[in-house]
Amino acid sequence: MIKKIKSDIKTSIKTRKINVFFLFLFFAFIILILTKLSKEYTNTVVFNIDKINVPQENVILNDSSAKLNITLKTHGFKWLTYYFNKPKIAIDFVKDVDKIDSTFIWSKSKAYLLESTQFGKQVELLNITPDTLRFRFDVNLVKKVPIILNADINYSQGFDVSEPFKITPDSIEVIGPNVLVTQIDSVETNPIKLTDVKSDIKKVIQLKLPKNSKDLTFSDNTVSLTATVEKFTEGTLKLPISIKNIPNNKTIKYFPKTVNVTYYTSLNNFKTISAKDFKVECDFSKTTNNQSFLLPELTKFPETVKHVKINQQHIEFIITE
């Protein structure tokens, strides 16, 4: 029993010694790191450009390669912040650049003047390359273009849309360089496919914006598609035929005098449709020599019907003088 107690005491002392050793080792490591970070180092870092106060009427073109290699002398703590946060240098397009023709020009002398505000008092600016940055710009243009619906919609049997699709908004504004905006005449939606539709349509659709459009701004990137879907039925009407543009010196006889017209409409509108809403005409001036028939055309029909079809394609006639 006594031997076990002595053994436990010895083990405890050894464990404490090990813990104390690692504790001192840890503190030594921390002191070493702090010592290293407190020293000054010279290094070159790539700075991205942070463009500020760019005139609203201008847009900068092709500046993705605009970077500065800056050599600095500062303590390790500052270098640590550059390691964790990608450094940027601000270029004020009101104060720091000169405007020549279609180019903004920045020179490194501007950075030396703003050394304390850009880098801080503990940082010594040693060198900057390149000496000059050139930013090409263009005048912003605002253009309104229509939205083109790219949709493949199949309805359940006996169903259809009672009114045209409604796209909100039906057009968007494209803002950007004149050379880019003038190339855009319309914007399509992303493809949408619906099958077996028998209820009202309400969808939000992404727009298919042009590739590489980082220099462009769009007033919207989605549109709302809505449509009323109703039960449809087929109707048939017998309609009289009228002939127009018959020469004054000619008289004609034609057959048949009436034609059947079929149409497709919603159940709600079916009872409101009558023969007076339609008109079928033949234009005599469209005939050629030795032609013995006229072509019937539907010149009037209500907006509430679709898929209207005249079942008689030819109207036979003879000229009686």
Domain parsing of the chain, residue ranges:
40-130, 139-227, 232-320
Mean pLDDT computed over 4-14: 52
Q: pLDDT by residue (tens digit) across 92-142?
A: 888 888 888 778 888 877 666 555 556 666 666 777 788 888 888 877 888
190: three-class secondary structure by DSSP: coil
Kindly report the CATH class assigned to 232-320: mainly beta
DSSP tag of 284: G
Q: Hey, do 139-227 and 232-320 end up sharing a CATH topology, with the first three levels equal?
A: yes
Task: Report the amino acid identity of residue 76.
Answer: G
115: three-class secondary structure by DSSP: helix
- What is the rounded radius of gyration, in angstroms, for the C-alpha atoms of the chain? 40
Identify the residue with better confidence: 283 or 321. 283
Average pLDDT of the residues of the chain: 81
From the centroid of its chain, how far is CA 111? 37
Answer for the pair 297, 259: CB distance below 8 angstroms, yes or no.
no
Neighbouring C-beta atoms of residue 119, cutoff 10 Å: 19
pLDDT tier at 172, thresholds 50, 70, 90: very high
Mean pLDDT computed over 78-86: 65
pLDDT at 147 over 60: yes
Helices 2-38, 76-84: crossing angle, 10 deg rounding? 90
pLDDT at 37: 47
Report how far apart, in Å, the C-alpha atoms of 277 and of each of 148, 168, 201, 256, 300 are: 31, 31, 29, 21, 7
Give the closest residue to 97 by CA, choosing from 45, 56, 48, 53: 53
Beta 293-294 vs 88-92: how paired, if at all? unpaired
pLDDT at 131: 82
Answer for the pair 294, 271: CB distance below 8 angstroms, yes or no.
no
260: three-class secondary structure by DSSP: strand
The pTM assigned to this predicted structure is 0.54
Burial 282-295 (b: 16+ CB within 10 A, else e): bebeebeeeeeebe
pLDDT tier at 146, thresholds 50, 70, 90: very high
pLDDT at 214: 74
Outline where DSSP puts E strands in 178-257: 187-188, 192-197, 201-206, 217-218, 222-227, 229-244, 251-255
Question: Superfamily for 139-227?
Answer: YbbR-like domain (2.170.120.40)
